[in-house]
Amino acid sequence: MSPALNQSLVNILLASGAPSREDAVALASNLNGSGSWTADVLNSGKVDEQKFLNEIGSFFGVPVMSIDAKRIERTTLTILPSRFVFQHNILPIEEKENSVVLATYDLFNSTGRELAAQLLKKPAEWVLVPRGQLLRAMKTLYGVGAETFDEILKTNRSFEALQDIETSTDLNADDPEASVVKFVNQIIREAIHERATDIHVEPLENDLRIRYRIDGILHEVAVPPQLRLLQSAIISRLKVMAHMDIAERRLPQDGRINLQAASATIDVRVSTIPTVNGESISLRLLSRDQQQAFGFERLDLSPKQTAIMKRLLAQPNGIVLVTGPTGSGKSTSLYCFLSSINSVQRRIITIEEPVEYRLPGVSQIDVKPEIDLTFAKGLRHILRQDPNVVMVGEIRDVETADIAIRAAMTGHLVFSTLHTNDAVGGITRLIDMEVEPFLLSSVVKAFLAQRLVRTICPDCKEVVGYPVEYLHEIGADIPPDFKFYRGAGCENCRHTGYQGRLAIYEICVITEPLKRLIMQKADGGELKKCAIREGMLTLRQDGWRRVTEGKTTIEEVVRVTQTDEVMAESSEFSEPVVAG
């Protein structure tokens, strides 16, 4: 590198926000022409990306711009091979009569620019684009794993010939000779990067659809065209990883994968079902590293809720039941409760289907129906192990409920879950299971119902207002002049306005008036009215707490508490007004 170029780079870096001349000199000296220098500079975190792009654009005489993937013609994408696009981060965005416009974030990638010139039939016009925006556009336009799919098509390998694919579950070990392995790894890596909790691989009549569940909502994943050609290979690869029978395609199967992703270990529950279009496969992703985060503080309860739960957890015996639909965070709450009371003085045993996270110092049992190890049978044997605290993954039948109640009556603190819409619904559910009301009222201490609401994206948070009529319709006890927030939608939140989730709660403590109603077998409506009179806050009321904290939106609280109150989404007043 010439002294003049080195000095120019130092000046560019200083103008881009480098903390000191020494930092700028050190970064400038790393230029090697291989295409990695710009990435190294951006990864260092020592410069402002937009300022850096502007300075580089000025240096090369190239415009800096934003791109919208939706405006790029599909025919333009065929100008360069997808493998080249992903290898060099060079995206064709427009074909003109006498030139092709190429977008990149790295004009110092001389190798890529020279190869692009050789591949094109027209001269190239270069534009600079922010790195994140470019990479997201590439995934949107070509699909996740497009370069690998392109490689498979070109090598014309048999999609059914998977006998030689090893069972490695290291996502970082992509075998260049096993493109199907590489493609599946890319799909899973992308899901982890997007914070997905589930991956669904679904055969349709003429296509193969892949969807991620992110923050409780399903999102379709952009994948290469003709992915249906790879359907059998993808399903077989996942079944191999999960130690399933790849020859059995007529019956549902369950399996498990332990994945190594970067420095994290991911437990994956795998389920297949036969459909008319082929096997559909679902993966539930559970990060083992989250076990360190379990603690009472993670629940983020209100002061009143915290006092109630700490009082319940201090009980020497009784049953505490967590209720809610699948995916509402019940297991997380139970793990937090167990972690908060775990000590050398307590013996804690759990029976789960399956064990989702491993808790230090806790004996955890996996239900195995195939060998007749059920919740009920496991619970019977747990009680012979001298436990202080027992956690049962779910009460599904009267037998399990009866044993759990007997355990609580003999001096054990029992935690479990039920699938009901609200806290009071747990009472009627147990009565429907033919649990005797006098037993229920004497040993069950409380029901905790919960839902997960999406949190507002911090990168696009904006102030909005709501008509007072709408707030009144949905029962929001919030002043109309309160400063409400929502997410406008940006690339960081996939234009949803939300990023992450938190829980809202409804705690129904079994008080004396409730006990009397339970003995009378009162209906759910009477029980709920009594619980509210006794001080219970409903899910929706707790949701308003989250709204006033600026953590979620009114629309999100209304969405997840549809059975709690009268709905008002169709109201003429429901549309928020963005503050000026």
**Count of Cβ atoms closer than 10 Å to residue 139 Cβ:** 17
Per residue in 246-280, pLDDT (tens digit) is 999 999 999 999 888 776 788 899 999 999 999 99
pLDDT tier, 580 (very low <50, low <70, confident <90, very high otherwise): very low
**Angle (CA) 63 67 72, round 5°:** 120
What mean pLDDT comes out for the span 318-330? Answer: 95
Is 430 strand, coil or helix? helix
**Has residue 235 got a pLDDT over 60?**
yes
Across the beta sheet with 444-456, the strand order is 363-366, 348-352, 389-392, 413-418, 318-323, 444-456, 498-509
Handedness of CA 427, 379, 328, 338 (dihedral sign): positive
| pLDDT for the residue numbered 178 | 56
Q: What are phi and psi for residue 123, nearest 5 degrees? A: -60, 150
What mean pLDDT comes out for the span 276-298? Answer: 83
pLDDT tier, 1 (very low <50, low <70, confident <90, very high otherwise): low
pLDDT tier, 173 (very low <50, low <70, confident <90, very high otherwise): low
445 within 8 A of 312, measured Cβ to Cβ? yes
Q: Which residue has the higher pLDDT, 294 or 532?
A: 532
Is 462 strand, coil or helix? strand
Cα dihedral: 80, 84, 90, 93 (round 10): 20
Per residue in 60-101, pLDDT (tens digit) is 999 999 998 888 988 898 899 888 998 899 999 999 989 999
**Has residue 566 got a pLDDT over 60?**
no
- The answer to whether the 3-129 and 143-288 domains have the same CATH topology is no
Written in H, E and C, the secondary structure of 39-93 is: HHHHHHCCCCHHHHHHHHHHHHCCCECCCCHHHCCHHHHHHCCHHHHHHHCEEEE
Per residue in 123-134, pLDDT (tens digit) is 999 999 999 899
pLDDT tier, 290 (very low <50, low <70, confident <90, very high otherwise): low
**Has residue 161 got a pLDDT over 50?**
no
| pLDDT for the residue numbered 4 | 83
pLDDT tier, 177 (very low <50, low <70, confident <90, very high otherwise): very low
Q: What is the mean pLDDT of the chain?
A: 88
What mean pLDDT comes out for the span 202-209? Answer: 93
CB-based contacts of 74, cutoff 8 Å, min separation 6: none
Q: Which fold has domain 143-288?
A: Beta-Lactamase (3.30.450)
| pLDDT for the residue numbered 427 | 96
| pLDDT for the residue numbered 366 | 92
Helix, strand, coil percentages in the chain from 3-state DSSP, rounded to 5: 40, 25, 35
**Has residue 35 got a pLDDT over 60?**
no
* Distance from the first to the final alpha carbon of the chain: 51
**Has residue 3 got a pLDDT over 90?**
no
What mean pLDDT comes out for the span 166-195? Answer: 75
| pLDDT for the residue numbered 567 | 39
| pLDDT for the residue numbered 444 | 97
By mean pLDDT, which of 211-215, 273-277, 294-298 is the weakest?
294-298
Q: For the structural domain made of 3-129, what CATH number should be given?
A: 3.30.300.160
pLDDT above 90 as % of the chain: 64
Could you tell me the pTM of the whole model?
0.80
pLDDT tier, 569 (very low <50, low <70, confident <90, very high otherwise): very low
Written in H, E and C, the secondary structure of 244-282 is: CCCCCCCCCEEEEEEEEECCEEEEEEEEEEEECCEEEEE
Domain extents in the chain: 3-129, 143-288
pLDDT tier, 37 (very low <50, low <70, confident <90, very high otherwise): confident
By mean pLDDT, which of 100-104, 390-394, 476-480, 494-498 is the weakest?
476-480
Per residue in 350-375, pLDDT (tens digit) is 999 888 888 999 999 999 888 999 99
Identify which of 311, 364, 369, 301 has the alpha carbon closest to the alpha carbon of residue 335: 364
What mean pLDDT comes out for the span 157-180? Answer: 53
The helix-helix angle for 179-193 and 231-241 (nearest 10°) equals: 70
Q: What are phi and psi for residue 210, nearest 5 degrees? A: -120, 130
- Enter the tokens of residue 575: 């549309």
pLDDT tier, 146 (very low <50, low <70, confident <90, very high otherwise): confident
Could you please report the per-residue DSSP string of 3-47? HHHHHHHHHHHHHTT-SSHHHHHHHHTT--SSS-HHHHHHHHT-S
Q: Which residue has the higher pLDDT, 143 or 537?
A: 537
Identify which of 171, 355, 197, 168 has the alpha carbon closest to the alpha carbon of residue 263: 171
**Has residue 564 got a pLDDT over 80?**
no
Strands 196-203 and 318-323: unpaired
